[in-house]
């Protein structure tokens, strides 16, 4: 039986079921994902930028801020964590430091993309990508920096939306040859491209796909994704995409009525939150140390 979070992730990837990884960004979101029965979570750079900084996903979050968040998540959950490390936060030497910091903080896998820094959301226009040779060097640097071979590397290419499908496929092959553990070809335009990706790479490495609401994915169905040969479905901002309209509704009620009485059936109360977060267990643990 797998015991560590890295072993748990490897076990999931070796199975037959699609790994669903909702995006998390703080201790509460990670706890909710775990309590909902998911077996893996994704620390989304987009979610972290949205929730913690109120900024778009445009490379505005620093490596130390991500590492701090990993440590917070790891303190709250034992789930495997796939961590978005954007472009690695610099050149090959920066990538090595990022990998070491993220691994020590508790990442089970790190995801690195071949965009020019500062990057932007993979479903936004105006992206640019670095030379594939530079990305190969960064992949090798990341693998050399690992203290634990069980820390997996997801190599993501954003070249499809910049240079076209053929270049993205060529890059994916080079990244796999360089030693990447998982492959992520961002933003395919249609199901035919996804079928070709699955056919060419599905047996060589676990394939990752983003299911972003409004992001233009050819499929939103996890079953279809699995049938296409993919192994990991990321839901990077699903929680926040639902939170925003709900939060606006609560704020409108407070602004107009001065209370939230009309929303009481849709809201938690303080006792519910304390139960969710384990307040009673913490109090009992504290008492066990009383003189």
- The pLDDT, as a whole number, for residue 291 is 73
Same domain, 57 and 197: yes
CA atoms within 13 A on the CB side of 12: 26
Q: What pLDDT sits at residue 117?
A: 79
Instruction: Give the number of domains in the chain.
Output: 2
The answer to the question of residue 68 being in a domain is yes
Asked if 185 and 253 sit in the same domain, the reply is: no
Q: Are residues 43 and 145 in the same domain?
A: yes
Cα–Cα distance between 194 and 209 in angstroms, integer? 10
In a domain, 290, yes or no: no
Contact 142, 110 (CB under 8 A): yes
Instruction: Quickly list DSSP for 88-113.
Output: -SSSHHHHHHHHHHHHHHT-SEEEEE
Q: Can you give the pLDDT at residue 121?
A: 65
Q: Indicate whether 253 belongs to any domain.
A: yes
Mark whether 151 and 46 lie in a shared domain: yes
Q: What is the pTM of this model?
A: 0.95
Whether residues 136 and 48 share a domain: the answer is: yes
Angle between helices 270-277 and 279-287 (to 10 degrees): 60
Establish if 202 belongs to a structural domain. Answer: yes
Match 């050399």 to its residue by tokens. 144
Q: Which of 30, 41, 75 has the alpha carbon at shortest distance from 233?
A: 41
User: What is the CATH number for 36?
Assistant: 3.20.20.60
Residues 81, 64 share a domain: yes
List the chain pLDDT tens, one digit each, 291 residues. 778 999 999 999 999 999 999 999 999 999 999 999 999 999 999 999 999 999 998 888 999 999 999 999 999 999 999 999 999 999 999 999 999 999 999 999 999 999 997 776 656 566 789 999 999 999 999 999 999 999 999 999 999 989 999 999 999 999 999 999 999 999 999 999 999 999 999 999 999 999 999 887 899 889 999 999 999 999 999 999 999 999 999 999 999 999 999 999 999 999 999 999 999 999 999 999 987
Q: Is the same domain home to 164 and 69?
A: yes
């Amino acid at each position: 039986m797998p015991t560590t979070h890295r072993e748990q992730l490897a076990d999931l990837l070796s199975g037959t079921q699609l790994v669903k990884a909702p995006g998390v960004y703080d201790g509460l979101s990670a706890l909710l994902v775990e309590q909902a029965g998911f077996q893996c979570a994704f620390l989304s750079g987009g979610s972290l930028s949205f929730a913690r900084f109120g900024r778009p996903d445009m490379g505005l979050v620093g490596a130390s801020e991500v590492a701090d968040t990993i440590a917070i998540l790891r303190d709250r959950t034992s789930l495997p964590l796939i961590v978005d490390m954007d472009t690695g936060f610099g050149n090959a030497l920066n990538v090595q430091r990022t990998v070491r910091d993220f691994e020590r903080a508790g990442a089970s896998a790190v995801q690195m993309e071949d965009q020019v820094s500062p990057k932007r959301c993979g479903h936004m226009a105006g992206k640019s990508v670095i030379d594939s040779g530079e990305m190969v060097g960064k992949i090798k640097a990341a693998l050399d920096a690992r203290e634990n071979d069980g820390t997996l590397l997801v190599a993501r290419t954003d070249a499809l939306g910049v240079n076209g499908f053929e270049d993205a496929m060529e890059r994916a092959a080079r990244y796999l040859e360089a030693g990447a553990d998982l492959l992520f070809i961002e933003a395919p335009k249609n199901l035919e491209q996804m079928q070709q990706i699955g056919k060419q790479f599905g047996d060589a490495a676990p394939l990752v796909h983003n299911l972003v609401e409004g992001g233009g994915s050819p499929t939103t169905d996890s079953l279809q994704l699995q049938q296409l040969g993919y192994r990991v479905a990321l839901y990077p901002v699903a929680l926040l995409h639902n939170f925003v309209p709900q939060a606006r509704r609560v704020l409108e009620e407070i602004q107009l009525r001065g209370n939230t009485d009309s929303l009481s059936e849709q809201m938690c109360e303080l006792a519910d939150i304390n139960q969710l977060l384990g307040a009673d267990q913490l109090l009992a643990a504290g008492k066990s140390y009383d003189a």
